[in-house]
């Protein structure tokens, strides 16, 4: 990982929420929340909660007596999340998933949406998830499948690489789409101490109002922005316009379709 891969600061949180919330994350958030429908009491811990997309979905789907503790490494993301969910059963806390400040066996479930890829020491984060789970509890998370299975994101990554052939930005390949090998995921979980592990491929389709909306979200609402601004200061809008034109040429000028594939992992 690059030092900036997990940096969601400045205007990134607001753009992430506005342009990527429904486009990338909401369909999979609903999938995760549905898998927790049997949780009717106790506490759920969410790590890498981001702007609270899964948090809000769980809060709307689960009984009010279920307490949700939503955490993230980036306080700026939690600040954005808190403006959108005034709920008495949700607690927000800035913390590192690799070193959780919670007692052993204190949660019914641990949930993480598209965050595991950002953990520098994944086995440490997995050990912490196991430690805070009650006996019989589950660790539920999703990660993106390979970039080739997510064509809109791949088109964006390919285009920015073409613009910087001598030093292509590789944020997408390196981090969000870099942890899809099922044997590696199983091995990391097993070495952390988990026993039963199930991995499922899940396909979703979403839409963006326009190719430009998708380009703004993927370039300016993610840490890819940090790489682009380092290589081409002052040219972010120009690069965004170019990528939007490429996407429009492939997907049309109006509302565009986004086909996505993720892996959903349940470990006990």
Q: Give the list of residues 6+ apart from residue 135 with CB closer than 8 angstroms, or none.
A: 105
Dig out the tokens for 214 from the structure. 């998708």
Where are the chain's structural domains?
A: 12-267
Rounded distance, CA 4 to CA 111, Å? 24
The span from the CA of 54 to the CA of 72, in Å, is 12
Distance CA 200, CA 263 (A): 6
Average pLDDT over residues 27-38: 98
pLDDT of residue 2: 75
Backbone angles phi, psi at 253, to 5 degrees: -85, -20
pLDDT given at position 4? 82
* Percentage with pLDDT > 70 across the chain: 100
pLDDT at 3 over 80: no
The Cα–Cα gap between 73 and 95 comes to 5
Residue 135 per-residue DSSP state: E
What is the average pLDDT across 62-84?
96
- Distance between CA atoms of residues 76 and 78, nearest Å: 5
Pairing mode, if any, of strands 133-144 and 197-208? unpaired
Domain spanning 12-267, CATH architecture:
3-Layer(aba) Sandwich (3.40)
Sheet (strand 133-144) strand order: 90-94, 67-72, 43-47, 107-113, 133-144, 256-267, 197-208
pLDDT bracket for residue 256 (50, 70, 90): very high
- Residue 112 and residue 142: Cα distance in Å, rounded? 7
Residue 147 contacts residue 157 (beta carbons within 8 Å)? yes
* Residue-wise pLDDT tens digits, 105-130: 999 999 999 999 999 999 999 999 99
**Radius of gyration of the CA atoms of the chain, in A:** 18
Q: What is the per-residue pLDDT for 1?
A: 73
Predicted confidence (pLDDT) per residue in 47-68, tens digit: 999 999 999 999 999 999 999 9
């Amino acid at each position: 990982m690059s030092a900036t891969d997990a940096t969601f600061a400045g205007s990134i949180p607001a753009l992430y929420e506005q342009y990527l919330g429904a486009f990338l994350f909401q369909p999979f958030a609903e999938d995760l929340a549905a898998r927790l429908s049997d949780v009717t009491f106790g506490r759920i811990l969410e790590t890498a909660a981001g702007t609270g997309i899964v948090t809000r979905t769980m809060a709307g789907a689960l009984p009010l007596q279920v307490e949700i503790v939503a955490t993230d490494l980036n306080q700026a993301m939690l600040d954005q999340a808190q403006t959108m969910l005034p709920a008495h059963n949700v607690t927000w806390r800035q913390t590192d998933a690799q070193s959780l400040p919670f007692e052993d066996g204190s949660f019914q479930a641990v949930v993480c949406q598209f965050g595991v890829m950002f953990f520098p020491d994944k086995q440490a984060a997995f050990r912490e998830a196991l430690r805070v789970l009650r006996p019989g509890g589950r660790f539920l998370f999703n990660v993106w499948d390979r970039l080739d299975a997510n064509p809109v994101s791949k088109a964006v990554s390919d285009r920015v690489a073409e613009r910087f052939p001598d030093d292509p930005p590789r944020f997408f390949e390196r981090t969000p789409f870099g942890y899809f090998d099922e044997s590696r995921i199983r091995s990391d979980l097993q070495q952390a101490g988990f026993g039963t592990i199930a991995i499922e491929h899940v396909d979703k389709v979403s839409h963006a109002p326009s190719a430009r909306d998708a380009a703004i979200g993927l370039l300016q609402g993610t840490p890819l922005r940090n790489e682009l601004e380092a290589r081409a200061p002052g040219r972010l809008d120009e690069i965004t316009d170019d990528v939007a034109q490429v996407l429009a040429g492939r997907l049309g000028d109006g509302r565009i379709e986004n086909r996505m594939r993720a892996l959903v992992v349940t470990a006990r």
